[in-house]
Structure 1
Amino acid sequence: MTGRPVQVTSGRHPFEAAILVATVFVGVVLAVTREVPRSASQTMPHGLITVWMVMLAAAGLVALLGAWWRGSVETGLRVEMAGILLLAGGVTMYVIAVFTVSGMAALVAGGFTAAIACGAWARAGQIGLDLRRIDRAGRVEAVPLLVEDGDR
C-alpha cells in the first residue's frame, strides 16, 4: 500500500542561504577582529562572548551543510536544524543584549535582528514538523518523499 507523498521544505532558499552566509561572515569577523559590539561586551561575560561568536560562525556552516546535504533527506534536515537552532540562540542572545543596553533606542537595529531570530525559530519549527511527517510516513510502506527546493 502506498501512502500520500510527504512534502518537506528545503533550506536551499536564497534568503535563508544569504542569512546563513552572513552569519558565518559576522561570526568570523567578530572572532578575528575581537571587535565586539558594546551591547555584547556590557551584558555578556568574556567566555560567553567567545561562545556567542563560535555559535554564529558554526550556525551558518552547519545549517548550510544540512541544506545542501546529498545523503538522506532526514539527516540533512537534522543537520540543518542543529545549525538553525545555533543561529536562533545566538541571534536571540544579541537581541537581548541590544535591548538591555539601549532600550527603545535599539528599536531599528534590535527589531531587524529580532526578525532574523524569529525567522530562525520558525524555520526550526518547520523542520521539526517535516521530521515528524517523515517519521510518520516511514511507518507506511513506499511513501514518496517530495522536497520543495528553492533551486528549482
Structure 2
Amino acid sequence: MPHNRIRSRHQPFEIAIMATAPVCGVLLIVLDVRPQSVEMAMPGPIQAGWESGLIVAGVAGLLGVLWPGRLSTGLGIELASVLVLGTITGMYAVALAVVAGAQGVAAMSFVVAVAAGSGWRAVQIALDLRRLTRAGQATQFAGVAVGGTFSARGGT
C-alpha cells in the first residue's frame, strides 16, 4: 500500500489570516466603521454578511486546524472556512476595484493574494480528504481480503 502524505495542518500564513479575520470583523462591527469601498459597493445586508463572514471564517478555520478529533472532520471544517474566507476576500477585492480603480492596486494585490491562497489551500485540503478516503477504502478492502467475505455493510 502506498504511503499517504497529508499536508501539514500547521500553515503559518493561514493561521495568521484566520486569527486576524475575526479580530477585523469584530472591530468593524463594534466600531461601526467600514472601508469606503465596502460602503459604496455593497448594500447594507451584504456588508453585515461580509463582516460576519470574517468572524465565522476565522473562528471556524482555527477550530478546523486545532480540531482534536478525526483528521477528516478537522480538514472538512478547515475546507469550509477557507472557501468562505476566499469568497469574502474576493468580495472585498471587487469592491476595491470598483471604487478605487488603479489607486487601489496595492491593496487589491494583497487582498487577491489572500483569496487566491484560500483557493489554493482549499484544493490541497480537498486532495488530502480524497487521499484519506482512498486510504480508508484500501484498509477496509484489505481487511476484507484477509478476514473473509464482503457483506453489504462493508464488514466480513
Equivalent residues of 1:92, 1:114 under 8 A apart: yes
2:144 alignment partner in structure 1: none
* Structure 1 unaligned regions, length at least 5: 143-152
Equivalent residues of 1:10, 1:67 under 8 A apart: no
The 4+ residue runs of structure 1 with deviation greater than 6 A are none
1:108-129 deviation digits (Å, cap 9, x = unpaired): 0111111111001110111011
1:29-60 deviation digits (Å, cap 9, x = unpaired): 11111101010010100000000000011101
Q: TM-score if structure 2 supplies the norm length?
A: 0.86
How far off is 1:11 after superposition?
2.9
More strand, by proportion: 1
Partner amino acid for 1:97? Answer: A
Matched residue of 1:11: which SS? coil
CA RMSD of aligned residues (A): 1.4
Return the index of the structure with the highest Cα Rg: 2
Alignment length, in residue pairs?
141
The share of aligned pairs that are identical, in percent, is 37
Query: Does residue 23 of structure 2 align to residue 8 of structure 1?
Result: no
Q: TM-score if structure 1 supplies the norm length?
A: 0.88
1:146 alignment partner in structure 2: none
More helix, by proportion: 2
Matched residue of 2:139: which SS? coil
Matches within 5 A, 1:1-150: 3-141=1-139
Larger RCO (CA under 8 A, 6+ residues apart): 1
Equivalent residues of 1:27, 1:57 under 8 A apart: yes
Matched residue of 2:138: which SS? coil
* Structure 2 unaligned regions, length at least 5: 141-156
